[in-house]
Structure 1
Amino acid sequence: MNQISIVIPSYNHGKYIEACLDSIYFQDYPEIEIIIIDDNSIDNSHSVIKNWIHNVKSSSTSFISKYDEKKDELIKTIYNRYNKNVRKIIYEKNSKNIGSTATYNKGFRIATGEYCTFVAADDITHPQMLSTLAKPLDENAADFVYSNMFIIDDNHQILREFILPDYSFEKSFCEWYLCGVSTLYRRSLHETFGYYDENSHADDHECYLRFALNGARLLHINKTLYSVRSHAQRQVGLHHPEKFKNLLEESKRLVLKARISLHAKRSSHDDIVVIQP
């Protein structure tokens, strides 16, 4: 079984990060490396994360498991709340704020798993996400796998389901960037083609386009395995209006780059002359 490394970059997500970490910890995939990097948050994130790690080691819970008729007594079974055995947890707090891209690059350089991805600290992974996305990687059917997503609000109400297209370079990169954030891929892609561009406003778009242009095999899984937190009422971080505008402008440039690449590839094919014997 290949280990999966999940990088969780966090900045001022104290309200959300416990639920995010629980959703990763309780995945049905057996072997997970959880790498939490806090980018010098100024809210209570640090204490929340430390408390979560403490609870993983010590928190217990119970359920009623038997009725003793003679004593008219309900008997409880007490067990460890966090009972997954193969979970490696790494936590680092940046001494100064270095930004989200540099933060998860730091996490990926720590990672040791065969497969990896990052999960935003206010998002939720569904329980079968990793096992579902890992399967085609295990079968060598792909190098990079992505799935559909729910968009949720702070009450976990589903605002919409985001169904992504089955992969083609044209659909996923030339029409618009349509790979989403529910992803899993071979860590060797970073070792071969580099990490996320820390000068890019659309860092995941740029990185995954770079993977695709260099021959990585992408595959869409038509299942909804991830919930993205809506920022409609919280325009902070990358979703601050000015930053989001910059992100969209850079994504436009990346789409044009993909179109140029596709056009060049098609033109080179058109130039091939087949001489019959």
Structure 2
Amino acid sequence: MTFPMIPNRVSIVVPCYNREKYLNQCLSSLINQTYSNIEIIIVDDNSTDQSVPKIQSWIRSLPTRQQQNIVFLSLPRNTGNAGAYTTGMFLARGEFIALQDSDDYSHPRRIEKQVEFLRKHPKVGLAGTQYAWFREENGKRFPAPNWLRYGEEIKKSYQKGKHCVCVATSMFRRSLFDHHGGFHRGINRIEDYKFMIKFFKNGATIENIPEILYYYRAHPDQRSRKNRKRQ
């Protein structure tokens, strides 16, 4: 059961597992968005480091009016990234749901531009964005690898079994989640791909915004790097 929807609000879901070093930059990039009608839903996935105290301290540092727009849930056991993301989606009250990994950060106008795009394109159910990646040690940004696709090429890529949307950059209409649910927890390492395929199979249109609105951190403990090592 989901909460009643609040028109024009964006619910930003941030799962966290042992990301104490990166939380301030991640969360500050969201609370300072130019689009103000947001709620930030932080789901700690039973971290074993100091992530929970860091999150609590960050929330206390905010003005009261901003604290009211933060939802924080600490899970009693580890559910995995897919489980934490989906838990946050169930808590969302916004007309739109945006995703962000807790070791990355967003451009200040990311949410504003994605809402504007979805308003202008009512047939699009989900919009990702172009992104840049940066090294943890120096913060220098680099263009993303050329694997994203646009327009009809997105559907063609997924039909061929290829992945071409950076899921952590996504914003989608909450109605998609209400009808089709979130990530599949039982599918390790390809939950992002399956998430997109599920929307396509149910008739959703997916697009990428070609502007860099997201910054992806490269570091030894990032989830995608660990997944590649397991394959």
User: Which TM-score band applies after superposition, normalised by the shorter structure?
Assistant: 0.7 to 0.9
Cα RMSD (Å): 2.1
Letter in 2 for 1:159: F
* Structure with higher RCO (Cα < 8 A, 6+ apart): 2
Deviation at 1:236, TM superposition (A): 5.1
Deviation at 1:88, TM superposition (A): 0.9
- The answer for the alignment partner of 1:200 in structure 2 is 187
Q: Say which of 146, 155, 163 aligns to 2:128.
A: 146
SS at match of 2:124: coil
- The answer for the alignment partner of 1:12 in structure 2 is 18
Letter in 2 for 1:55: S
- The answer for the alignment partner of 2:112 in structure 1 is 131
Label 1:239 to 1:198 Cα distance change in 2 as closer, same or farther (>3 A): same
Alignment check: 8 A CA contact 2:82 2:191 kept: yes
**2:173 equivalent to 1:157:** no
Q: Could you list the per-position Cα deviations for residues 178-213 of structure 1 after superposition, in whole angstroms to 9, with x for gaps in the alignment?
A: 011311110111111122100112112101111012
Larger mean CA deviation between 141-150 and 46-55 belongs to: 141-150
**2:169 equivalent to 1:185:** no
**2:150 equivalent to 1:166:** yes
Paired with 1:48 and 1:22, the residues of 2 have a C-alpha distance of 12
Structure number with bigger Rg: 1
Alignment check: 8 A CA contact 1:31 1:86 kept: no
Q: How many percent of aligned residue pairs carry the same amino acid?
A: 27
SS at match of 2:69: strand
Letter in 1 for 2:173: R
Alignment check: 8 A CA contact 1:133 1:145 kept: yes
Unmatched tracts of structure 1, length 5 or more = 59-83, 249-277
Q: Say which of 79, 86, 100 aligns to 1:105.
A: 86
Length-normalised TM-score, structure 1: 0.73
Paired with 2:224 and 2:46, the residues of 1 have a C-alpha distance of 16
Alignment check: 8 A CA contact 2:45 2:84 kept: yes
- The answer for the alignment partner of 1:227 in structure 2 is 215
Q: Say which of 17, 21, 41 aligns to 2:27.
A: 21
Q: Could you list the per-position Cα deviations for residues 81-131 of structure 1 after superposition, in whole angstroms to 9, with x for gaps in the alignment?
A: xxx769610111111222111111111101110100221000011011111
Paired with 2:205 and 2:141, the residues of 1 have a C-alpha distance of 31
Length-normalised TM-score, structure 2: 0.87
Letter in 2 for 1:167: G
Deviation at 1:136, TM superposition (A): 2.5
Count of residues paired in the alignment: 218
Aligned counterparts, 1:10-89, within 5 A: 10-57=16-63, 88-89=69-70
Deviation at 1:50, TM superposition (A): 0.6
Alignment check: 8 A CA contact 1:10 1:121 kept: yes
SS at match of 2:13: strand
Q: Could you list the per-position Cα deviations for residues 137-168 of structure 1 after superposition, in whole angstroms to 9, with x for gaps in the alignment?
A: 22314111111000111132113334522132
SS at match of 1:56: coil
SS at match of 1:2: strand
Letter in 2 for 1:19: Q
- The answer for the alignment partner of 1:212 in structure 2 is 200
Label 1:135 to 1:236 Cα distance change in 2 as closer, same or farther (>3 A): closer
Label 1:209 to 1:87 Cα distance change in 2 as closer, same or farther (>3 A): farther
Deviation at 1:220, TM superposition (A): 2.0
